[in-house]
Chain A
């Protein structure tokens, strides 16, 4: 009986008087505004997320999301996972949290990057400062969790600095030489350049002072013993003409993306909301073909429904880019096709630069958000 009544209600045009006195859930138009962004031809509507717990108090609907409710609803679906990029869906989470993860991934996850370059000789056409900048941007394939931050007063030691050297020379009469990152040589014992005022010949009791003070060799540490530190191998640093030479030493330290983008562990990290494409009425024959033709990413397909009739169907809503070409077919099309986005479903993509695999980056980002909360919590108590 109740089911029949409900069917009847759906058939009828929605009216506010049909609502029960004490509703358990929102009426459909409000539920739609709460969970979907509607993309019209001119502009999207219902774009805001309604988070206030008493937003629907006048309808006697509780909008506060309880923690156990969140835990019940929240899902993660991994779509693609490779060595250096991944795509996954975060379902049932608020944009503020998803955005916090994205911001932390880009700006607050530490990595190692070249910060100081000691140029001994550079006769190439690339200027010292440009060369140093290029070196800074080279991703270093090492787990940054094994290192400490270096502060202004710290001396560079094996816990906070990685040293590379490079010496490239293009002899006269030879073709041009391309200097690649694989030519960078890791120096596990630290800098080989002596501080000013040190005499290399005074081979007295103590070692001459260099620009770093390593107490032991980095390759004697267990984490690097069989796992030498390297950069990504195939990046061009400079091109040398005959007779040109580059010689320098580069010191990499730990830092965060908010100081400089070279410390960002991701090429990019981004999310988009899940597109939802709905055909509000049956679209047949020529109209269907026009619709399929208009979509540049092939969201629609044609389905045979017998009697030589064809019908359009939504085949790949996930690839919709919201270009809204399908709404531009004609004036009445905005009433036939509805483009929406699901507000709490995020398609998250992480491209790692190589220091850490993408799945580790994400868990580290979540941990950092936790640490931030813990800091505030402990300061308040």
Chain B
């Protein structure tokens, strides 16, 4: 991973090894949402190399810090996604359990009703 800034800190290209569109596109999204960023983009110089170049240009703040913030944002988003997802799955499983019980109890009631019917006969 390199950091190539020319003269001022606010414009920089970061070469990230062993990564592809998966991370670069997500990072580009969080960078774009930062109001300090004037331009950002990424490129993969060659499809057989596991390398992406992420270009960050800011309106003054050091590009390195802005990229770090973008990573942090993405981490926090992921954590939120994970906790929300886990909760949704737990709720779904709990609900499903309740529904199954309901069906069971209804079935039992049905059987009892049948019994009563047959007795009355």
Contact = CB atoms under 8 A, between A and B. Distances in A.
B29 A93 contact: no
A83 to B, nearest CB: 12
A100 B85 CA distance: 16
A380 B70 CA distance: 12
Interface string B56-70: 000000001001100
Contacts of A74: 80-81, 84
Contacts of A372: 19, 22-23
Q: Is the interface of A mostly helix, strand, loop or mixed?
A: helix
A88 interface: yes
B82 A100 contact: no
Contacts of A194: none
B23 A376 contact: yes
Contacts of A78: 88-89, 91-92
A276 B121 CA distance: 55
A224 interface: no
B31 to A, nearest CB: 9
Contact of A64 (B16, B20, B35, B75): B35
Contacts, number: 119
Interface of A: 51-54, 62-65, 67, 70-71, 74-78, 81, 88, 90, 93-94, 96-97, 99-100, 103-104, 107-108, 359, 362-363, 366-367, 369-370, 372-374, 376-377, 379-381
Contacts of A374: 71, 75
Given A53-B37, A78-B88, 17 more contacts: A52-B32, A53-B35, A54-B35, A67-B77, A71-B80, A74-B80, A76-B84, A81-B92, A88-B88, A97-B77, A100-B26, A108-B22, A363-B82, A369-B74, A372-B22, A373-B75, A373-B78
A100 B81 contact: no
A64 B73 CA distance: 12
Contacts of A63: 33
A65 B73 CA distance: 11
B34 A53 contact: yes
A222 to B, nearest CB: 26
A59 to B, nearest CB: 15
Q: Is the interface of B mostly helix, strand, loop or mixed?
A: helix
A300 to B, nearest CB: 30
B25 interface: yes
Closest 8 CB pairs between A and B?
A: A78-B92, A76-B88, A96-B29, A377-B71, A51-B32, A373-B71, A100-B26, A103-B22
Contacts of A99: 22, 25
Interface of B: 1, 3, 14, 16, 19-23, 25-29, 32-35, 37, 64, 67-68, 71-82, 84-89, 91-93, 96
Nearest to A360: B89
Contacts of A373: 23, 27, 71-72, 74-75, 78
A269 to B, nearest CB: 13
Contacts of A53: 32-35, 37
Nearest to A57: B35
A106 to B, nearest CB: 10
A369 B85 contact: no
A197 to B, nearest CB: 39
Contact of B25 (A64, A100, A108): A100
A363 B86 contact: yes
B25 A67 contact: no
Contacts of B96: 81
A103 B21 contact: yes
A51 B33 contact: yes
A53 B89 CA distance: 33
B23 A379 contact: no
A381 B26 CA distance: 20
Nearest to A77: B88
Given A70-B77, A377-B72, A359 B16 contact: no
Nearest to B67: A380
Nearest to A50: B32
